[in-house]
Structure 1
Amino acid sequence: MENKEIVKLAAKACDDKRAEDITALDMNEVSLVADYFLICHANTERQVQAIARGIKEAMDEAGVAVSRIEGLEQSRWVLVDLGDVVCHVFHREERVYYNLERLWGDAERLQFDHEG
């Protein structure tokens, strides 16, 4: 599966768990860390956990390897590492504080619908 398809699948998993403000950044031209960042947030730690687990379940079903998940216990900023796609699931307060979209402002935003 190509990385663009993986980020779309992860975005759908986030949407299915009612994540808010789902944003995908194309990092190819601005960073060597990953090809794509997927960023979203939730209002409670429990919902952050549910979103991160939803991403993992969707990847397992699609046969995409999850390299690691970090931050699940605290559930303030959970990082789901899918290799060249990195998903950042924030608690609302942490998302505002870290503001990755501003930090990586040169990255192009992907446009896609969450229905398919």
Structure 2
Amino acid sequence: MVDIKDKIKMILEACDDKKGYNFSVIDISKVSSVCDYFVICNGSSDRQTQAIAEEVEFKAEQAGCEVYHKEGMNTGRWILIDMGDIIVHVFHKDEREIYDLDTLWNEGEFIDSEEFGIKNWK
């Protein structure tokens, strides 16, 4: 079993490998029963968001982490990857502003991606 912090680091590294940016890691465990963490990032195009999501899924499989559900790959505008205790949101830069999950979940605890060794480009 992979430690949750290692899992978050793996997800951030996968996003960073495909040039994802504007990372948010939100601990929502105290405010929701949906999951424990959201990991959110942007891509600049539909194709880039799809590549980021594919890389997250590939790295998860390599690490022995299960992906329970994935949606949004067809359009590449908002891709959701459900990994049980973590839900990854890969947004096209324009969509992220519309849905604004960072504000919607502002009662959660925000964790700086640099704690996982990932520079947060905005």
Query: How does the TM-score come out when normalised to structure 2?
Result: 0.90
| Residues 12-52 of structure 1: per-residue CA shift (max 9 Å, x gap) | 11011100101110111111111000000111000000000
Equivalent residues of 1:38, 1:87 under 8 A apart: yes
Q: Secondary structure at the match of 1:89?
A: strand
Q: Which consecutive residues of structure 1, in runs of 5 or more, have no partner in the other structure?
A: none
Q: Secondary structure at the match of 2:23?
A: strand
Q: 2:98 is matched with which residue?
A: 97
TM-fit CA distance, 1:4? 2.3
TM-fit CA distance, 1:102? 0.3
What is the aligned length? 115
Q: 1:62 is matched with which residue?
A: 63
1: CA distance between counterparts of 2:102 and 2:24?
Answer: 8
TM-fit CA distance, 1:6? 1.0
Root-mean-square deviation (CA), in Å? 1.1
In the TM superposition, structure 1's runs of 4+ consecutive aligned residues that sit over 2 Å from their partners are none
TM-fit CA distance, 1:2? 2.0
Over the matched positions of the two proteins, sequence identity in percent amounts to 38
2: CA distance between counterparts of 1:88 and 1:2?
Answer: 20
Q: Which amino acid letter does the alignment assign opposite residue 20 of structure 2?
A: A
2: CA distance between counterparts of 1:92 and 1:64?
Answer: 27
1: CA distance between counterparts of 2:5 and 2:30?
Answer: 15
1: CA distance between counterparts of 2:82 and 2:8?
Answer: 11
Q: Which consecutive residues of structure 2, in runs of 5 or more, have no partner in the other structure?
A: none
Q: Secondary structure at the match of 2:49?
A: helix
Q: 1:14 is matched with which residue?
A: 15
